[in-house]
Amino acid sequence: MVKVTAAEVNKLRKATGAGMMDCKKALVEAEGDFDKAIEVLRKKGQKVAAKRADRDSSEGVAVARVNDDKTQAVVFSLNCETDFVAKNDDFVALADQLADIAMTVDSKDAFLAADFNGMTVADKLTEQTGVIGEKIEIGGFEKLSADFIGSYVHGKKIAAVVGLSDKADKAEQLTKELAMQVASMGATSLSYKGFDPAYVAAETEARIAEISKENEELARLGKTLKNVPQYISMLQLTPEVMAKAEADAKEQLKAEGKPEQIWDRILPGKMERFVSDNTTLDQEQCLLDQKFIMDEKKTVEDYVKTFGDVTVVDFKRVSLV
């Protein structure tokens, strides 16, 4: 049997992250050849990866990286099976190394094919699967380009980046707060203006059916019924719809015996409530149309306007929760 030195074992351990005994066994099997020993460990990783291919890798770390100019950013997740591994310093360090590589590519496929110290990122993940004994993979992967980008990572589980059209005053503050909004509220679109009308129509029908069914049970239990919206997005609130809503509100005020001379003071609140009740999809999915988490009296769009002539051009979010 080939004898290997502690120095050789330590060198292989530093190069691969594998345990001391695994490195020693690999060097012995490779008859002391360092490169062959790495290949031995890689093949072990392939075997482990094959066995664990159907495992759920819902733990890990979410990463956000922005370049020095604040014009390019990436968010991605390095996934594993358990929270124990996700909190391991070596695993977190690997995610940090991968972030440097992720900044140089434009897609997840290119990321996996990129070089990692003489092997591909995909091969490195396979190797680490053998080292750690858990399924290791890249989860979400998103890139963003803008005139100014800020980021936020929540508990290493959610990473978000937001891009502005220009470097406004206090752009660092604005993008961080908006990235926190994205992380917290999970927007999927920038504005309702980007919705497909067919999607909105189908979602409206589904929500009305769901709430109606819930109300049947609430009525049976003698509980307060939920409001069944006519609409769920500003995309549906045409001038004709708004005019009818205002006319209906005036009829209601008249029926309640409210003097006509005070209607102007009451109508704005009623119309605001109508819009709020009938734009639930926007509030859930559209960043600019959501209530701002730090001041719910404002929408995100209203808050952005306080920073001057600047607009949000895009955002990206990756989450492990």
**Residue 308 resides in a domain:** no
Q: Are residues 154 and 105 in the same domain?
A: yes
Give the CATH number, domain containing residue 10.
1.10.8.10
Q: Which of 223, 186, 228 is nearest to 205 (CA)?
A: 228
Q: Are residues 156 and 116 in the same domain?
A: yes
DSSP state of 236: G
Q: Domain range holding 206? A: 193-296
Half-sphere exposure of 37 (CA within 13 A, CB side): 26
3-state class percentages of the chain: helix first, strand second, coil last, to nearest 5 = 55, 20, 30
Of all residues in the chain, what percent carry a pLDDT higher than 90? 73
Number of domains in the chain: 3
Residues 8/35, Cβ–Cβ less than 8 Å: no
Neighbour-count burial of 223, counting CB atoms closer than 10 A to its CB (0-12 exposed, 13-18 middle, 19+ buried):
exposed
Taking only the tens place, the pLDDT of each residue in 77-120 is 999 999 999 999 999 999 999 999 999 999 999 999 999 988 89
Taking only the tens place, the pLDDT of each residue in 171-228 is 999 999 999 999 999 999 999 999 999 999 999 999 999 999 999 999 999 999 998 8
Residues 260-280: what's their mean pLDDT? 94
Q: Are residues 81 and 171 in the same domain?
A: yes
Sheet with 137-145, strands from edge to edge, namely 59-66, 72-80, 137-145
